[in-house]
Amino acid sequence: MTTITQVKTYLNYINGEWVSSLGKKVDISINPANKNEIVGYIQSSSGEDVDRAVEAAKRAQKEWRRLSGAERGDYLYKIANSLERRLDEIAETMTMEMGKTFSEAKGETMRGVAILRYYAGEGMRKAGDVIPASDSQALMFTKRVPLGVIGVISPWNFPVAIPIWKMAPALIYGNTVVIKPAQETSVTAAKVIECMDEAGIPDGVVNMVTGAGSVVGAAMVNHTDVNGITFTGSNATGKQIGQAALARGAKYQLEMGGKNPVIIAADADLDLAVEGTISGGFRSTGQKCTATSRVFVHTEVYDLFKEKLLQKVKEIKIGNGMEDTSWMGPCASENQLNTVLSYIEKGKAEGARLIYGGERHTGNGCENGFYVQPTVFEDVTNGMVIAQEEIFGPVLALIKVDTIEEALAQANDIEFGLSASIYTKDIGAMMSFIIDIDAGLVRINAETAGVELQAPFGGMKQSSSHSREQGQAAIEFFTAIKTVFVKA
Ligand code: NAD
């Protein structure tokens, strides 16, 4: 395993060169496991830096779109190889920047490698359909074409996988990219871009500008030469971006928050259900958009489920994600920690009963980190704030229900619809769940988190702009369709 010894300054990547921001301002990226440790200095850029990056991307797109899909795919294979070679180093950087455990960070980085390889192959697959024309002597077909320059705005919770699942399809379909990663994880993002540079990606095809969302992100969203914006992040930011993109006629895709339910039926395998609820609720410190948050438990098995759940929650080892013994790392930032703690206070004030955790965790060398205990509430009602708003932390709300129908009605009584799961052996209950649950990702006897790169991913209701990412679905956002009619 490599060890990061000196604090480095990471630059923007524009037109194939590593450059300082024009204003020469930098931000720091710190380790949430120890706030006194600086992981790196990153550029605090301005709208003018974005202008330069977009100009480079626009220029490069003319040549890039002319390459064959196989030629573009070759670059993606090379980027995948470079990322795989640097697996340990990049995973370690991720753990140090946002706190998830090293094994989770490695898993995520390998997912990035697999996504790149998946889309590299996509360059050899079909890019249109033949449709019978009204004139039998004519040929009519559709041809997928790139949008142009894509602005990628990404969050901090999956600092490798999300940028890659946006950039890889953008590139393979012939677009060029300007990415603005989350400030909290810009060092990790810079290392992903280094892999692209090492792979010899042509100048201007990928550009990275780091800095504040309200400055750099907003400049990208409002830039007339950015033809498509793909965003993952919070609902509040997503809505602003959607409105701004719509106002100037740019295509946009928003993947946003969740408040994901699991239903534990009376016939559920309770051990499996406990394992899935803990993994879904607490892995990555609850900071997954697909994290389990609301747990609807049938009255008949409520007490036993609760007992088994608490037994396992007590075993969770909190600590620095770089230590093998740690199962759950810190929250990704002080801000995030404070948000989680304030929701815990709201839960208590609303009358929910705290049955485990609820405090900042400071023991065993964790004093300088943003750690919080895994937290479980019971006596939660669906109208409470902690049952309706995304907390994005390791907090579970247990809600008792008498029937599956009641569980489904409450699970759907919310503005979000990202992922949902049910534990049951009954085929009828499974079918009602599949048909009636409002969620883009529906999982049976499996935790709410669990995204497969080859399948469409996205939410219903306020969780998404109703578009889908990943798998074959990505072509819908990253291309436009030309309908061609040819008569000899
Ligand atoms: P965020 O909305 O605060 O930030 C996301 C990105 O938007 C960052 O790069 C940020 O700098 C940028 N940004 C902020 N203000 C902006 C503005 N005015 N204009 C343009 N860009 C701006 O979200 P976050 O805290 O980084 O991420 C957590 C959120 O992401 C959670 O709500 C989570 O559910 C969601 N998320 C969703 C998915 C999904 O696929 N549905 C996946 C992961 C995370």
pLDDT score recorded for residue 220 = 98
Choosing from 97, 255, 390, 447, the catalytic residue is 255
Distance from residue 60's CA to the centre of ligand 1 (Å) = 28
Residue nearest to atom 16 of ligand 1 (CA): 213
The verdict on the CB of residue 240 being under 6 Å from ligand 1 is: yes
HSE, side-chain direction, 13 A CA sphere, residue 4 = 23
Distance from residue 73's CA to the centre of ligand 1 (Å) = 29
Residue nearest to atom 20 of ligand 1 (CA): 217
Helix axes 186-198, 161-172, angle to 10 degrees: 40
Distance from residue 272's CA to the centre of ligand 1 (Å) = 32
Ligand 1 atom closest to the CA of 240, numbered from 1:
18
The verdict on the CB of residue 390 being under 6 Å from ligand 1 is: yes
Q: Which candidate, 122, 137, 139, 95, places its Cα nearest to that of 3?
A: 95
What's the pTM? 0.97
Q: From CA 354, how far away is CA 313, in angstroms rounded?
A: 14
Q: From CA 44, how far away is CA 27, in angstroms rounded?
A: 6
Question: Does 398 share its domain with 476?
Answer: no
Q: How confident is the model over 126-166, as pLDDT tens digits?
A: 999 999 999 999 999 999 999 999 999 999 999 999 999 99
**1 in a domain, yes or no?**
no
318's tokens:
């909190």
Total number of domains in the chain: 2
Q: From CA 269, how far away is CA 471, in angstroms rounded?
A: 31
Choosing from 195, 289, 331, 366, the catalytic residue is 289
Residue type at 65? R
Question: Does 230 share its domain with 310?
Answer: no
Distance from residue 313's CA to the centre of ligand 1 (Å) = 29
**60 in a domain, yes or no?**
yes
356's tokens:
């485990």
The verdict on the CB of residue 339 being under 6 Å from ligand 1 is: no
Total Cβ atoms within 10 A of residue 205: 24
Residues of the chain with pLDDT under 50: 1-3
Annotated catalytic, 289? Answer: yes
State phi, psi for 2 to the nearest 5 degrees.
-85, 160
pLDDT score recorded for residue 5 = 60
**191 in a domain, yes or no?**
yes
- Strand 12-14 and strand 17-19: the pairing is antiparallel
Distance from residue 292's CA to the centre of ligand 1 (Å) = 19
The verdict on the CB of residue 32 being under 6 Å from ligand 1 is: no
State phi, psi for 156 to the nearest 5 degrees.
-95, -10
The verdict on the CB of residue 333 being under 6 Å from ligand 1 is: no
SS3 state of residue 154: coil
Question: Does 337 share its domain with 195?
Answer: no
pLDDT score recorded for residue 143 = 97
Mutation test residue for ligand 1: of 46, 100, 226, 289, the one with most atoms within 8 Å of CB: 289
Residue type at 475? I
CATH code: domain of residue 184: 3.40.605.10
pLDDT score recorded for residue 2 = 45
Annotated catalytic, 366? Answer: no
**457 in a domain, yes or no?**
no
pLDDT score recorded for residue 363 = 83
Q: Which candidate, 162, 189, 212, places its Cα nearest to that of 13?
A: 189
CB 205 within 8 A of CB 171: yes
pLDDT score recorded for residue 79 = 99
Give the residue numbers spanning the domain of 105.
8-256+464-487
Q: What is the DSSP string of 112-126?
A: HHHHHHHHHHHTTS-
Q: How confident is the model over 140-150, as pLDDT tens digits?
A: 999 999 999 99
The verdict on the CB of residue 241 being under 6 Å from ligand 1 is: yes
The verdict on the CB of residue 233 being under 6 Å from ligand 1 is: yes
**148 in a domain, yes or no?**
yes
Question: Does 209 share its domain with 355?
Answer: no
**459 in a domain, yes or no?**
no
CB 156 within 8 A of CB 94: no
Question: Does 85 share its domain with 164?
Answer: yes
Question: Does 354 share its domain with 315?
Answer: yes
Question: Does 144 share its domain with 59?
Answer: yes
Q: Which residues pair with 43 in a beta bridge?
A: 26
Distance from residue 392's CA to the centre of ligand 1 (Å) = 12
The verdict on the CB of residue 301 being under 6 Å from ligand 1 is: no
The verdict on the CB of residue 440 being under 6 Å from ligand 1 is: no
CATH code: domain of residue 370: 3.40.309.10
User: Where would I find the beta strands (DSSP E) of 244-302?
Assistant: 251-255, 260-264, 292-298
**73 in a domain, yes or no?**
yes
The verdict on the CB of residue 217 being under 6 Å from ligand 1 is: yes
From the CA atom positions of the chain, what is the Rg in Å?
Answer: 23
Q: From CA 439, how far away is CA 443, in angstroms rounded?
A: 10
The residue with tokens 């480095």 is 8
**312-319, long-range: CB < 8 A, 24+ apart:** 312/274, 312/275, 312/278, 313/278, 313/282, 313/356, 313/357, 313/374, 313/376, 314/356, 316/278, 316/282, 316/374, 318/361, 318/366, 318/371, 318/373, 318/374, 319/364, 319/365, 319/366
Question: Does 280 share its domain with 240?
Answer: no
The verdict on the CB of residue 258 being under 6 Å from ligand 1 is: yes
Q: From CA 477, how far away is CA 146, in angstroms rounded?
A: 10
Mutation test residue for ligand 1: of 153, 216, 260, 468, the one with most atoms within 8 Å of CB: 153
467 Cβ contact partners less than 8 Å away, ≥ 6 residues apart = 253, 254, 255, 458, 476, 477
Question: Does 275 share its domain with 240?
Answer: no
Question: Does 238 share its domain with 268?
Answer: no
Q: From CA 74, how far away is CA 80, in angstroms rounded?
A: 10
Name the strand (E) or helix (H) holding 469: none
Distance from residue 46's CA to the centre of ligand 1 (Å) = 19
Question: Does 188 share its domain with 337?
Answer: no
The residue with tokens 């404070």 is 338
Distance from residue 181's CA to the centre of ligand 1 (Å) = 10
Question: Does 135 share its domain with 89?
Answer: yes
Sheet holding 26-31, edge to edge: 8-9, 34-43, 26-31
**303 in a domain, yes or no?**
yes
The verdict on the CB of residue 211 being under 6 Å from ligand 1 is: no
